């Protein structure tokens, strides 16, 4: 019994480490895409093509690449950079996981105030790796 628990614990730790590494890589890739003002790249490195997204100020649920890309284009047009600050609350099991993150953003307009957006991401492991399949966000930091 102890060996089973040890293996299960090791397997969980390995899965968590792999998920943590993948999420961190996705966050850094998003930062680079925003700084390059490349909305397509931001989408490709973070989201599943079937993303479902909602949050503060969203009048209706955004579903899929075609609906989200214009929103992302508006964000990258008005944003110079964002640092994605992960919260320690994240977990994965099998091919599903979740994480919380705060986007700490600097607008392209130097006279505008910096802003923060906090998000809950639901991740799924796909052929291309871990991608966000659902997101809920609100303004402000964690």
Task: Map out the domains of the chain as residue ranges.
Answer: 2-139
> Exposed (0-12), middle (13-18) or buried (19+): which is 5, by Cβ within 10 Å?
exposed
| Number of helices and strands in the chain (H, E) | 3, 6
Rounded to whole angstroms, the Cα distance separating 132 from 40 reads: 15
**What pLDDT shows up at residue 17?**
86
pLDDT digits (tens, 9 = 90+) for 77-93: 999 999 999 998 899 99
Mean pLDDT of the chain: 90
Whether 63 has a pLDDT exceeding 90, the answer reads yes
DSSP 3-state assignment of 66? helix
Whether 9 has a pLDDT exceeding 50, the answer reads no
Structure tokens at 71: 């929103």
Domain 2-139 adopts which CATH fold?
Answer: Nuclear Transport Factor 2; Chain: A, (3.10.450)
Rounded to whole angstroms, the Cα distance separating 106 from 104 reads: 7
DSSP 3-state assignment of 1? coil
pTM, entire model: 0.86
């Amino acid at each position: 019994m102890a060996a089973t628990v040890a293996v299960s614990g090791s397997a969980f730790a390995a899965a968590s480490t792999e998920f943590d590494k993948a999420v961190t890589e996705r966050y850094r890739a998003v930062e680079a895409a925003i700084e390059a003002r490349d909305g397509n790249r931001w989408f490709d490195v973070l989201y599943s093509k079937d993303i479902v997204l909602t949050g503060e100020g969203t009048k209706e649920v955004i579903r899929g690449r075609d609906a989200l890309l214009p929103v992302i284009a508006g964000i990258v047009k008005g944003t110079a950079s964002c640092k994605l600050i992960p919260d320690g609350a994240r977990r994965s099991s099998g091919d599903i996981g979740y994480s919380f993150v705060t986007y700490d953003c600097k607008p392209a307009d130097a006279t505008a105030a910096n802003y923060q957006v906090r998000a809950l991401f639901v991740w799924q492991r796909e052929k291309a790796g871990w991608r966000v399949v659902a997101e809920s966000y609100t303004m402000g930091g964690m």
